[in-house]
Structure formats: C-alpha cells, structure tokens
Amino acid sequence: MTRESRAKWLAAATAALVIALSALFAALRNLSPLPVRAPQSAAAPPPPAADPARIAAGRAAFERMNCAMCHSIAGRGNPSHPLDGVGGRLDRAQLRAWALGEGEAAARLGGIASIKQRNRGDPELDALLDYLQQLR
C-alpha cells in the first residue's frame, strides 16, 4: 500500500467515523425523554381558570421569544426540553424562575440563564406564565 493510498483510506475512514458519530449524537438528542414524575406532595395546585385571550397572548409570547428553539410543546419545537405538563410540575414562582433564569434555575442553566434574563422586562411575561401554567 502506497503512502498516497494509505492517506486516502485514512481520510475516507475518518469521514465515515465523523458521519457515524454525528448520526449517533443526533439520534440520541432526539430520543423522547423518559417522563419525569413529580412527587405527590410537590404537585402544584391547579391554577385559576385563565382567560382564553390571555392564554393566546402567552402562546404568542412563547413564539415571539423563540422558546421553541430549546423547548417543545405537543411535539412542536426542540424535543430536548419538552414543556408538556410543566404546569402540573412547577408552581408559578418556579415557572417564573425558569423563564427568567433566576435562583436555582440560573445555576442549573449555566450560560443559558443570561439569554433568558433578557425576558425580565417583557410586558407579556405574565401571559407567558399563564400559558405555561395551563400546560398539564
């Protein structure tokens, strides 16, 4: 085997390995996560019935803030961090902390917290929280 043919073989093998690893990581990232069950005592009480217009405004805020880049609802968006049922797992204060990257959420989010903190002054933040709270 000549040096040139060995170099071509090595380049092809490296390319195949990179493609295989990329496919593996993409498949692992898109796997459906196992459902997370909240302890019975930590279940949030049901929120008061929200105004449908306010829920629609919250959904619009979710889309405007590009939340679907990192989260999904009902299978739409990034499947890595689904928000289905989040209103049953977290109370409003916890939802607010995660939406703004504050408190314990900031520590767990790392650098992403600074992106979420841009939403702090958003006038539709409360509508977004209403929308997330009704996701049960």
**Same domain assignment for residues 23 and 61:** no
**Same domain assignment for residues 111 and 77:** yes
95-129 pLDDT, tens per residue? 999 999 898 888 888 888 788 888 888 889 999 99
**Same domain assignment for residues 54 and 97:** yes
The mean per-residue pLDDT over the stretch 40-58 comes to 72
Q: Is residue 12 part of a domain?
A: yes
Give alpha helix (H) positions in 1-136.
3-29, 52-64, 86-89, 92-100, 103-109, 112-116, 125-133
**Same domain assignment for residues 17 and 53:** no
Count of domains observed in the chain: 2
Q: Is residue 55 part of a domain?
A: yes
- Alpha carbons within 13 A on the beta-carbon side of 19: 6
Q: Is residue 18 part of a domain?
A: yes
Q: How far apart are CA 36 and CA 53, in angstroms?
A: 30
The mean per-residue pLDDT over the stretch 13-37 comes to 78
* Domain of residue 127, residue span: 49-133
The mean per-residue pLDDT over the stretch 26-39 comes to 62
Residue 43 has pLDDT above 70, yes or no: no
3-state secondary structure of 2: coil
**Same domain assignment for residues 88 and 22:** no
Q: Between 4 and 44, name the one with better pLDDT.
A: 4
Residue 9 has pLDDT above 70, yes or no: yes
Q: Is residue 38 part of a domain?
A: no
**Same domain assignment for residues 97 and 126:** yes
